[in-house]
Amino acid sequence: MTAEEDALFGLAYVPPDETVSYGPHPSQVVDFHLPAAPTGVRVTLLHGGFWREAYDRRHLAPLAAELAARGVEVALAEYRRVGTGGGGGWPQTLDDVIRAVGVRLRPGRRSRHVLAGHSAGGHLALCAASGHVPPPGVDAVVAVAPVADLARARELRLSGGAVDDFLGGGHHPEADPVLRGPARVPVTVLHGTADADVPVALSRSYAAAAMRHPGADVTLRILPGVGHYGAVTPGTPACGALLAALGAGDPKSGP
């Protein structure tokens, strides 16, 4: 494990205020972290882990709590993943994300809604942004260290061939953000130059492909010296860049 990974996974788990199911599978749930003083920003947060059952949403709970302390309503979504009993893969996992995005605790209250994802979660957020119809009510997407170029990730056999596992060994160009067509909402991509898990070249490839579409609103922000986990670890300068991209202000609660 890297120092960044140790720092993130060493943080204490923060339980949600409420958990809501959106389907019959145990992984079809959303954890809500609620602010004491809402600012009108809502974030649906997708964790990474190369789409594998071994990794779940719990490691992003500290980030969800940090956002809630800053007045953001956070929906930390789980989804079906690849592995024994996981029930995930393509396209089931993306289908879950689309459904999870629509889960609300406070129907009728309009907030600026950002769909954000890290690593494999970033891949799923980018796919959702470029669908024929974006998830209802999503105003923007923020992807952190995303697996944004699936073909290249497959060639590199990232995480021991995780892309092949996710795609079931088949070829699905519609699963690749580089090939899915233009995003339907503004997209911001954050990626560190020291990322050894998902090379920054994948985000550069996505941004280059996106900008070929007239009217594309895609911003790529490179984070010098930052690895795979820095931007999703509360308290780091890189996480400050993520908070800014999400529109999170100063903390609204705490000591």
User: Does the structure show a pLDDT above 70 at 189?
Assistant: yes
Specify burial of residue 175 (Cβ count, 10 A radius: 0-12, 13-18, 19+): buried
Rg (CA), the chain: 17
Q: How far apart are CA 247 and CA 110, in angstroms?
A: 16
Please, which residues bridge with residue 76 across strands?
31, 45
Q: Is residue 71 one of the residues assigned to a domain?
A: yes
CB 158 within 8 A of CB 120: no
C-beta neighbour count of 58 within 10 angstroms: 15
Q: How far apart are CA 44 and CA 32, in angstroms?
A: 9
87 pLDDT tier (thresholds 50, 70, 90): very high
**Whether the predicted model's global pTM rises above the 0.75 cut:** yes
Q: Is residue 36 one of the residues assigned to a domain?
A: yes
Number of domains in the chain: 1
Mean pLDDT of the chain: 94
Which residues have C-beta within 8 Å of that of residue 210, sequence separation ≥ 6? Answer: 182, 183, 187, 216, 218
Q: Is residue 252 one of the residues assigned to a domain?
A: no
User: Does the structure show a pLDDT above 70 at 160?
Assistant: yes
Q: Is residue 255 one of the residues assigned to a domain?
A: no
Q: What is the pLDDT of residues 100-146, one digit of tens each?
A: 999 998 766 678 999 999 999 999 999 999 976 667 789 999 999 99
CB 29 within 8 A of CB 20: yes
Nearest to 124 by CA among 155, 164, 88, 85: 88
Domain CATH code at residue 237: 3.40.50.1820
User: Does the structure show a pLDDT above 80 at 254?
Assistant: no
User: Does the structure show a pLDDT above 60 at 168?
Assistant: yes
Domain that holds residue 124: 3-246
- What pLDDT was estimated at residue 249? 67
Q: Is residue 136 one of the residues assigned to a domain?
A: yes
Q: Is residue 25 one of the residues assigned to a domain?
A: yes
What is the residue whose two structure tokens read 């209250």?
Answer: 109
Q: Is residue 154 one of the residues assigned to a domain?
A: yes
Q: How far apart are CA 35 and CA 31, in angstroms?
A: 13
Q: Is residue 8 one of the residues assigned to a domain?
A: yes
CB 229 within 8 A of CB 44: no
* 48-57 mean pLDDT: 98
